[in-house]
Structure 1
Amino acid sequence: MKENHRKVLIKIQEADSILIGASNGLSISEGIHIFADDTSFQENFGDFREKYGFRSIIQGCFFPYPSVEKKWAFFSRMYEYFLINREASPVMKNLYELVKDKNYFVVTSNIDAHFTQAGFQKERLFEIEGNCRNLQCSHGCHNRIYPGDDVLRKMAQNQENGKVPSDLIPKCSECGGQMQVHIEVDRNFLRDQNWQASFEAYQDFIEKAHGKKLVLLELGVGARNQMIKAPFMNVTNHEENATYITFNKGGELYIPDAIAAKSIGIDGNIAEVLQQLVQMK
C-alpha cells in the first residue's frame, strides 16, 4: 500500500498538469454524507425528518415543501450545515496542500462550496451542479446567478417552528417571483455565463495538457457519476502521458482494462490517504 502511495506522490510531483475530479466520496471523507440517514443528519435536520419523513439531505433538496417559508428553512439550514462556523476540513486542506503549487483544475458535482473555502481558486473550478451559496430566479426569467450568503445566513439564524420569516425570503429582482438555491434540483437550473465559462475553462485545461504529463486525480467518484468518470477515463485512454489515479472505497474502485497500465487505484479512507501523502511530501 505504501508503495502505491509513493507512486501517487511521485506522479503528482512530476505532473505538468493535475485535473481533479471530486464527488460524494470526498464529502463523505469530511463527515458530510448527503445521501445518509446518519447521526449527523438526525442531529442537524431531525425536525425536518420528523415532520416530512425524508431521510437524507438529498431527499430534502427535492422535497415539495408546503410553503416557501418552510422550503427556505431547509435550504438555509443546509447552507448553515455546510458552511457557517465550519472551517475548511483537514481533508480539503490536505488536498489543497498537495496541489496548490501545481497547474491544477477541479471539476466537481459536490454542492457544498468546500473547494473555494479551502483556498482553491474560483477560476480553476467547475461546479457542474452549482453550489449551496448561490441563488437564481426559480423561473429562470433571466440568466444570472447571485451570491446568497447574507440572505441564507439571516434565514438560517431566524428560523422558528420550521419556518423563516416571510420578509427574509428572497425575490427575483427582475420578475418579482421566487428565487431558489443554484443547485441542479430541477429543469430550471441555470447554466449562466459563469457556468459556461467554467465549463470552457475545463475543456481548455484538457486541451492545453495535450502531450504533457497529466495526472487525472479522481476522489470519491461513484460508478454512476459518469459526467466526471467517463471524460477522465477517455482522456486517460487518449493521452499518451496521462496517469489516472482514483481514490475510493472497496466496491467503488474500478479501473477498466483499457487504461489499467496507466492507472493507480487506492482503496481506502480518502482522509487518511491524503494525510499520508502530505506527510510524505
Structure 2
Amino acid sequence: MFLKKKTTAFTKDYSEQIEKLKQEIDTAEAIVVGAGAGISTSAGMDYGGERFEKYFSDFRKKYGITDMYSGGFYPYDTLEEYWAWWSRHILINRYEASIGKPFKDLLEILKGKDYFVLTTNVDHQFQLAGFDKKRLFYTQGDYGLWQCSRPCHDKTYDNEAAVRQMAEEQKDMKIPMKLIPKCPVCGTPMTMNLRCDMTFVQDEGWYKASDRYKEFLQRNRGLYILFLELGVGANTPGIIKYPFWQMTWKEPKAVYACINYGEAFCPQEIENRAVCINADIGQILEKIADQKNN
C-alpha cells in the first residue's frame, strides 16, 4: 500500500511541532495512544547500563549477560536459576518501580479526552499512573502474571507474593527448589505470561481488552482521531506503528503523531496529516502538560 520510502517530519527547532501536537490533542474528538518501550526508557526504566549493573552484576559476571532484555532469554541450566533471574527482574520492574513521570504527564494531557491506550509494554506503568484499566490493552502480557508453560489451559495467575518470596530467599543466583511455581492443573512448571513464542496465553482479560479496543475504534470511525505513537521501535511494528499509519491513511479526518528519539518518521502518503518529533518522550510530554496547566 505504501511504506516504500520513509520521510521525517521534524526540524531541529521542534517548538513549532510541539505546538502543533498540542493543538491536535486539544481538538481531537478521540485519541488512540500507542506506547512502546521508549516511554518506559524515558521514565528511567533502562534495561542496560548502570541500572542493570546495580541489580544484575552477579549474573553478568557468571553468565556474561549484558542487559535485562537478553537475560530473560538466557538458557539457564536449572529452574532455580531461571526463577532467581525472573523474580529479581519482576520485582524491580513491576512491584518496586516508581511511577514514571512521562506516564503521569500523559495522563494529565489526556484528562477530559476520550482516549484508549494500546501498548506492547509489560511493566504496568499505565495502571500505576492511574489510567483507567478499561482503557488499556496490554497486547504482549504482564510481568505480574504467570501461565502454564505447556500451556494446558488459558488462564493466568498473579505472582506478587511468590515473586517477593523468591527474591527474598534466593542465594547464589538460585531460589529454593520448593519455590518453583507449578501449574495447578497439570503440574508443569509455570512461565512468564509474555509473548515470546506460540505458547503465550491470551486469557479472558486479554480478550476483553481486545474487544474494548476494537469497539473504541469502531465507535470513533469517521471522527477526528489522533493516533499518538510514543516510543515504538522496530521489534513489533505490526502491532502499533503500521496499523496507526494505515488507519490514518484510511480515515480522512485522522492525524498521526509520533514522539520517538531517533525514530520519528512516517510514510509520505500521510505526511500532510502527521506530526513527528525526534526528541525524548518525557521532555515533550512534560512541556505539553505544563502548557496545559498554565
TM-score tier after normalising by the smaller chain length: over 0.9
Unaligned runs of 5+ in 1: none
In structure 2, what is the equivalent of residue 52 of structure 1?
Answer: 63
Distance in 2 separating the partners of 1:118 and 1:246 = 21
Could you tell which deviates more after superposition, 81-90 or 69-78?
A: 81-90
**Is 1:7 equivalent to 2:36 in the alignment?**
no
**Residues 95, 160 of structure 2: 8 Å contact kept:** no
Q: 1:128: Cα distance to partner?
A: 1.4
Question: SS in structure 1 opposite 2:56?
Answer: helix
In structure 2, what is the equivalent of residue 24 of structure 1?
Answer: 37
User: Could you tell me which amino acid in structure 2 is paired with residue 163 of structure 1?
Assistant: K
Question: SS in structure 1 opposite 2:188?
Answer: coil
Question: SS in structure 2 opposite 1:126?
Answer: strand
User: Could you tell me which amino acid in structure 1 is paired with residue 200 of structure 2?
Assistant: F
Q: 1:83: Cα distance to partner?
A: 2.7
Could you tell which deviates more after superposition, 92-101 or 193-202?
A: 193-202
**Is 1:241 equivalent to 2:253 in the alignment?**
yes
Q: 1:108: Cα distance to partner?
A: 1.1
Unaligned runs of 5+ in 2: 1-13
**Residues 94, 143 of structure 2: 8 Å contact kept:** no
Q: 1:33: Cα distance to partner?
A: 2.9
Distance in 2 separating the partners of 1:164 and 1:224 = 32
**Residues 24, 33 of structure 1: 8 Å contact kept:** no
Distance in 1 separating the partners of 2:195 and 2:67 = 16
Match of 2:243 among 221, 228, 231: 231
Change (3 A) 1:64 1:224: closer
Q: 1:101: Cα distance to partner?
A: 2.4
User: Could you tell me which amino acid in structure 2 is paired with residue 83 of structure 1?
Assistant: R
CA deviation profile, 1:212-245 (whole Å, cap 9, x unmatched): 1111110011244322101000110011111111
In structure 1, what is the equivalent of residue 5 of structure 2?
Answer: none
Could you tell which deviates more after superposition, 192-201 or 102-111?
A: 192-201
User: Could you tell me which amino acid in structure 2 is paired with residue 19 of structure 1?
Assistant: V
**Residues 126, 195 of structure 1: 8 Å contact kept:** yes
Q: 1:185: Cα distance to partner?
A: 2.7
**Is 1:175 equivalent to 2:197 in the alignment?**
no
Q: 1:134: Cα distance to partner?
A: 0.6
CA deviation profile, 1:146-179 (whole Å, cap 9, x unmatched): 1111111221222211011222222111111111
Q: TM-score, normalised by structure 1?
A: 0.94
**Residues 257, 274 of structure 2: 8 Å contact kept:** yes
Matches within 5 A, 1:92-131: 92-131=103-142
CA deviation profile, 1:163-219 (whole Å, cap 9, x unmatched): 112222221111111111111233211122222222222222111111111111100
**What percentage of aligned pairs have identical amino acids?**
36
**Residues 40, 100 of structure 2: 8 Å contact kept:** no
Q: 1:76: Cα distance to partner?
A: 0.9
Distance in 2 separating the partners of 1:74 and 1:223 = 26
In structure 1, what is the equivalent of residue 50 of structure 2?
Answer: 39
Question: SS in structure 1 opposite 2:85?
Answer: helix
Question: SS in structure 1 opposite 2:244?
Answer: helix
In structure 1, what is the equivalent of residue 3 of structure 2?
Answer: none
**Residues 17, 213 of structure 1: 8 Å contact kept:** yes
In structure 1, what is the equivalent of residue 177 of structure 2?
Answer: 166
Distance in 2 separating the partners of 1:114 and 1:236 = 27
Distance in 2 separating the partners of 1:205 and 1:73 = 40
Question: Larger RCO: Structure 1 or Structure 2 (Cα < 8 Å, ≥ 6 residues apart)?
Answer: 2
Distance in 1 separating the partners of 2:132 and 2:176 = 35
Question: SS in structure 2 opposite 1:142?
Answer: coil
Distance in 1 separating the partners of 2:177 and 2:166 = 10
